[in-house]
Amino acid sequence: ILLVACLGSYCEQRASTLFRQAIDAQRLLCLAFVKSFVYLGKLSK
């Protein structure tokens, strides 16, 4: 029973870590998109 609880918490930690990484990746993508958009805007002026 203890092993299952340990596995459960480990899986939860892994999932939350992956979730956080996914959010960070999305934020980075969004930032890159905005930066490139601003850069293109400066070029077109």
| Per-residue pLDDT tens digits for 17-42 | 989 999 999 999 999 999 999 999 99
pTM for this model (two decimals):
0.57
- Give the model's pLDDT for residue 7: 82
Buried b / exposed e over 32-42, threshold 16 CB at 10 Å, is: eeeeeeeeeee
Q: Above 70 in pLDDT, residue 11? A: yes
